[in-house]
Structure 1
Amino acid sequence: MATFRRFRPDDVDKISKCNLDPLTETYELVFYLQYHARWPSLFQVCEDTNGNIIGYIMGKLESSPEIYKFSEHYLPWHAHITALTVAPEARRLGIGKILTEQLELAADANNAWFVDLFVRKGNARAIAFYKNLGYSVFRVVKDYYGEHATDSTAQSEDAYDMRKPMKRDKKLQHIREDGETYEVDPTDVW
């Protein structure tokens, strides 16, 4: 049996098992604590009966700076999934779905227009997972992953910016049908 609850600062010592996945970003300690302090309802964990963290989701609420209000790339008030990961032994049990649904409930409670996330274009499993939950590709961000790589052999990879409309977006004005054909540079993403 698994328990879902809000992240606590001492959970930082327990999430390393989840972060072993090569597609999961591992951040510095202060990054996790900032999310906990600023957006506690959007930072959830799942733990097993032994108290091991077997999944977590980190999210935030944001909008683009006002100076970009008239840009075609302006983002209104929305929730963003920064990280979602489930430990290998706990996958395919619905944990990722439950964590995502909890974040979406918090997004609706905070009157967000949509939830968005970035996923590697080559990560077919994650893309299928999100599409199954109602997310669609809004745009392709060229060379999003690895743009700051210092290793000369590192290859960059495009990202899909995927979105799911929330209750506030009744007219579905923040999603598009042909997102896979709409390409932007990483500098267009704030």
Structure 2
Amino acid sequence: MRIRGYRVGDVEAMFQLDIACFTPPYQFDREMMQEVAEAPNAIVVVISDEGDAMLGFVIVHIERKGRNRYAYIITIDVAPSARHEGIGAKLLQEAEVQVSAGGLHSIGLHVAVDNTSAIAFYQRQGYQQIATEENFYREAATDAFVYVKPL
């Protein structure tokens, strides 16, 4: 396994991995995937196998609200065939290191209230539920839990 940053040619592999990981309407389209991955405020961490096949990735944006800056996880995807090997945890850990190195002290995310496996994963990684946002996933008519982890 190799941990690396984003490369411009990664968009198609990221898009295909997202399709494998999520059902509509939770999937990104190619254009949105490229937009969030190549945003100037993006941190992208990729884990690939020795042949450079993508096993997983995480996209984090550094956002600003007034004077406050915060890190927000846009998406984390791990290939179904590579799950339960610690890849998701490694992706989060590397993203958290980069966020912390940028001077930020917390990282947050939204997760669908019915995504029990993701909720359990985030809790194991030290994320704490702080709120519920109604109808966050509008197209799915699904609420989301808001999770935050201090760094």
Alignment of 1:33-182 (within 5 A): 33=35, 35-39=37-41, 42-64=43-65, 66=66, 76-145=68-137, 147=138, 149=139, 155-166=140-151
Cα RMSD (Å): 1.9
Bigger share in strand = 2
**Amino acid across the alignment from 2:95:** L
After TM superposition, give the deviation of residue 7 of structure 1 in Å.
0.9
CA distance in 2, matches of 1:106, 1:33: 20
Aligned residues: 148
Q: Which runs of 4+ in 1 moved over 3 A?
A: none
Change (3 A) 1:18 1:31: closer
Gaps of 5+ in 2: none
Amino acid at match of 1:108: S
Q: Classify the secondary structure of the residue corresponding to 1:62.
A: strand
Kindly name which structure, 1 or 2, has the bigger radius of gyration based on alpha carbons: 1
2:14 counterpart residue number = 15
- Which residue of structure 2 aligns with residue 170 of structure 1? none
SS of alignment partner, residue 38 of structure 1? coil
Deviations along 1:4-23, one digit per CA (max 9) or x if unpaired, are: 10010101122244212225
The runs of 5 or more residues in structure 1 that have no matched partner are 70-75, 150-154, 167-190
Shift of 1:37: 4.7
Quote the sequence identity (%). Answer: 25
